[in-house]
């Protein structure tokens, strides 16, 4: 009997299944900049429009134009293993790696949008299979 060595395709999550997984993965996680800010889960059914328009309506960002960043670059800072990391740092690095995987595996049009100059609101979002906007929100202070 010959074994099938093909990788199993992961089940793509959407809806409340994806939302619950993101909430669990982000619980208690902080984004460290000049201030620490919680990582919050975003999940909503958008009105008509693109991702930026949907976020603008949902979070009152209509007069701001975001800077776009590659989500892989955003996570690279959080998932990089450094020689000086202690056990707590390694746990956070692994958690951010898991979140990155969840987002990449389950969302289309994944992007990182940054609103503001010093107090920056950061959204890492995309669309799930059902058309919901899903992802993360946090804040960074950069002077």
- Locate the domains of the chain by residue range: 45-141
> Does the predicted model carry a pTM greater than 0.85?
yes
| Tally: H helices and E strands in the chain | 4, 7
The CATH architecture annotation of domain 45-141 reads 3-Layer(aba) Sandwich (3.40)
Going residue by residue through the chain, which has 143 residues, state the pLDDT in tens, using 9 for 90 and above: 444 444 555 678 878 899 999 999 999 999 988 889 999 999 999 887 788 888 888 998 867 789 999 999 999 988 888 888 788 888 888 999 999 999 999 999 999 999 998 999 999 999 999 999 999 999 999 88
Structure tokens at 93: 């690095």
| CA angle (70, 76, 79) in 5-degree steps | 140
**How far is residue 102 from each of residues 17, 28, 124, 134, measured CA to CA in Å?**
12, 17, 12, 11
């Amino acid at each position: 009997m010959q074994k099938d060595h093909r990788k199993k395709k992961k089940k793509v999550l959407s809806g409340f299944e994806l939302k619950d997984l993101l909430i669990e993965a982000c619980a208690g996680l902080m984004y460290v900049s000049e201030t620490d800010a919680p990582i919050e889960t975003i999940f909503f059914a958008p009105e008509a429009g693109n991702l930026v328009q949907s976020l603008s309506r949902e979070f009152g960002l209509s007069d701001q134009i975001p800077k776009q960043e590659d989500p892989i670059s955003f996570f690279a800072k959080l998932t990089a293993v450094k020689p000086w990391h202690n056990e707590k740092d390694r746990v956070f690095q692994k958690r951010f790696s898991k979140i990155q995987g969840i987002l990449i595996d389950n969302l289309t049009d994944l992007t990182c949008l940054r609103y503001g100059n010093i107090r920056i609101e950061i959204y890492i979002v995309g669309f799930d299979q059902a058309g919901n906007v899903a992802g993360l929100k946090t804040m960074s202070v950069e002077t």
